[in-house]
Structure 1
Amino acid sequence: MMLPLLEMENILFYGSFSLYVLGMVLFFAFLIGKKEGAGLWATRAMWAAFACHSLALAARGLGAGRVPLSNQYEFATSFAWGIALLFLIFERRFHFKAMGAFVAPVVIIVIGYAAMQNKDVRPLMPALQSAWLVFHVATAVISYGAFGVAFGISAMYLIRGRMKEDDFIAKHVPNLEMLDLISYRAVAFGYLFLTLVMITGAIWAQKAWARYWAWDPKETWSFITWIIYSIYLHMRVVKGWRGKKAAWFALIGFLCVLFTYIGVNTLLPSIHSYAGAVSTIL
């Protein structure tokens, strides 16, 4: 039973990868080529990719006999899934497809990273055999997804002023004020879940290693990430920060997220990297 499900998961994974790429190409055709039909098909491709991706995660979970959130590959593919989920929610809420040209590449980068990881299913180590694993990693997936969307929207903000204004741009690309607001909402949503990541991670650490915090490199960089987004929200609410400053902060924050997840695991020894264990923010 396990092998057929994992084979199915592999097919679904690469099917979703291909559909995400198709969606990205169509979004580029929509924004750069100003082909409205391409935008409609781009959204359909992203929904199809997300559905295929969801089935891949389900097949992985059933095949492994556990929640698929326990190693580099599983978290990376879930990370990409989270970005796609939040993108589809924001696209449906605000009704502008041009965002896809900036967010879809982020999904491709993260799921591409997942494709390069070891996909072997291994038994969970004792420290990972906890119900807190699901809460901790699931909140990280949602948090990272929101920050990925904020990254794409902030990048869009920074080049919005350089776009030649015409009827197409006016109709399909929000003005700077709206882009700033959407980015802020994505960051605020991600920050809420990032705080939950920190709390659940501390509780899990106490259960697993009898301490809430140890300044492990992963913990340290997760705290740095939280501080960056805290500064962003503080400066916006108290000092009224808007525009380019806020956009740059959102970009830097997501780069810090990527380093916390990928850079720390690659460059720094951490108890969160052992034996292919979970690579998340604690």
Structure 2
Amino acid sequence: MNSSLILSITTFVYGAAAFLYIAAWVFHKDALGRIAFRTGVAGVLGNVAGFGLRWAETYQLGIGHAPLSNLYESLVFFALAIAVLYLIVEKKYGHPTIGAVAMPLAFLAMAYASLSPNISDRIQPLLPALKSNWLIAHVITCFIGYAAFAVAFGLSLMFLAKREHDSPQGSGWKMPSPRVLDELTHQMVMLGFLFLTAGIITGAVWANSAWGRYWGWDPKETWSLITWFIYATLLHARLMRGWQGRRAAMFSIAGFGAVLFTYFGVNLLPGLHSYGSM
């Protein structure tokens, strides 16, 4: 069994977990929530196994490197980071309804990687610019940051839904309170901001090693900086002006839009990061 097959199976496991979380939320069934959590853990184990096997396959092909060098591989790691981060949040805070918005994001990342006809799962040699020990540090930090922003995005959607549909008598949804959703969103944004900052720093060091300059206003670099400023503005506004609630949720959603453009949109533009579209 090769890594691509394992990861394709993992896609459907994540899909099953997402469906179970949504069903548990809609029908208020704790038993479904517990099954959903176990299914999510199974998806993570499959994701780790597929990622590790793909890494081993690169050595079998004589081009050994971490499988983080193209769009397919980055999506696989993105899905893994989202799922792991969400399951940690659920285990720590005990709010399984968040899985109804978080686990579908992991599923969509894997589905796009595994099922899109425009993305190849073929293992390829590293481009010259990618042959650096900074590859793992840069990509992992960036995508843990992206995953935290993805979870914050899901929490923000839940916050807006809770505010829209809740009433003094309660809507009957087993959702965290707006206060809890707002605080968790803030924590995820802080985590994502720290890792994105680390990703930008390691990327700058890597760029100096590969191209002889720390910063060159490449489209990916520029949009990474724009994304960083959006989340920095949100954190500053919360600290200095007490931004909470709806404004913070809307800003979080806008920030994740910038993340998606940084990840996917700039691949349509010419630049040194164009390998990301492979």
TM-score range (shorter-chain normalised) is over 0.9
Contact 1:12 1:56 in 2 (8 A): yes
Q: Using the TM superposition, give the Cα deviation of residue 10 of structure 1 relative to its aligned residue in structure 2, in angstroms.
A: 1.6
Superposed CA deviations along residues 82-114 of structure 1, whole A, max 9, x for unmatched, are 111111111111111000001112112211221
Q: Using the TM superposition, give the Cα deviation of residue 15 of structure 1 relative to its aligned residue in structure 2, in angstroms.
A: 1.5
Q: Mind listing any 5+ residue stretches in structure 2 that lack a counterpart?
A: 60-64
Partner-residue secondary structure (3-state), 2:273: helix
Counterpart residue type for residue 269 of structure 1: P
Mapped to 2, the partners of 1:121 and 1:9 lie a distance apart of: 10
Query: Compared with structure 1, are the counterparts of its residues 150 and 273 closer, same or farther at alpha carbon in structure 2 (3 Å cutoff)?
Result: same
Query: Compared with structure 1, are the counterparts of its residues 63 and 276 closer, same or farther at alpha carbon in structure 2 (3 Å cutoff)?
Result: farther
Q: Which residue of 2 aligns with 1:179?
A: 181
Partner-residue secondary structure (3-state), 2:125: coil
Q: Which residue of 1 aligns with 2:101?
A: 102
Q: Using the TM superposition, give the Cα deviation of residue 8 of structure 1 relative to its aligned residue in structure 2, in angstroms.
A: 2.1
Contact 1:139 1:193 in 2 (8 A): yes
Q: Using the TM superposition, give the Cα deviation of residue 168 of structure 1 relative to its aligned residue in structure 2, in angstroms.
A: 5.8
Superposed CA deviations along residues 193-229 of structure 1, whole A, max 9, x for unmatched, are 0000110000000000001111111111111100000
Query: Compared with structure 1, are the counterparts of its residues 118 and 237 closer, same or farther at alpha carbon in structure 2 (3 Å cutoff)?
Result: same
The total of aligned residue pairs comes to 268
Mapped to 2, the partners of 1:179 and 1:166 lie a distance apart of: 16
Q: Which residue of 2 aligns with 1:79?
A: 78
Query: Compared with structure 1, are the counterparts of its residues 276 and 256 closer, same or farther at alpha carbon in structure 2 (3 Å cutoff)?
Result: closer
Superposed CA deviations along residues 118-159 of structure 1, whole A, max 9, x for unmatched, are 111111122111000010001012111111111111110000
Partner-residue secondary structure (3-state), 2:69: coil
Equivalent runs, 1:111-260 vs 2, <5 Å = 111-115=110-114, 116=116, 117-161=119-163, 162-163=165-166, 169=173, 172-260=174-262
Q: Which residue of 2 aligns with 1:21?
A: 15
Counterpart residue type for residue 13 of structure 2: L
Query: Compared with structure 1, are the counterparts of its residues 228 and 276 closer, same or farther at alpha carbon in structure 2 (3 Å cutoff)?
Result: closer
User: TM-score, with normalisation over the residues of structure 1?
Assistant: 0.91
Give runs of ≥4 in structure 1 deviating > 6 Å.
none
User: TM-score, with normalisation over the residues of structure 2?
Assistant: 0.93
Contact 2:141 2:196 in 1 (8 A): yes
Contact 2:71 2:276 in 1 (8 A): no
Mapped to 1, the partners of 2:67 and 2:90 lie a distance apart of: 27
Contact 1:85 1:145 in 2 (8 A): no
Mapped to 1, the partners of 2:221 and 2:276 lie a distance apart of: 18
Contact 1:143 1:189 in 2 (8 A): yes
Counterpart residue type for residue 2 of structure 2: M
Percent of aligned pairs with the same residue?
A: 40
Mapped to 1, the partners of 2:140 and 2:128 lie a distance apart of: 19
Mapped to 1, the partners of 2:124 and 2:277 lie a distance apart of: 9
Is 1:47 the counterpart of 2:48? The answer is no
Q: Using the TM superposition, give the Cα deviation of residue 275 of structure 1 relative to its aligned residue in structure 2, in angstroms.
A: 8.0
Mapped to 2, the partners of 1:225 and 1:109 lie a distance apart of: 22
Contact 1:180 1:242 in 2 (8 A): yes
Mapped to 1, the partners of 2:6 and 2:133 lie a distance apart of: 27
Superposed CA deviations along residues 166-192 of structure 1, whole A, max 9, x for unmatched, are 5963xx421111110000000001100
Q: Which residue of 2 aligns with 1:270?
A: 271
Counterpart residue type for residue 13 of structure 1: L
Counterpart residue type for residue 102 of structure 2: V
Counterpart residue type for residue 136 of structure 2: V
Counterpart residue type for residue 23 of structure 2: A
Query: Compared with structure 1, are the counterparts of its residues 146 and 31 closer, same or farther at alpha carbon in structure 2 (3 Å cutoff)?
Result: same
Superposed CA deviations along residues 223-280 of structure 1, whole A, max 9, x for unmatched, are 1100000000000011100000000111111111111111111x21121113867xxx
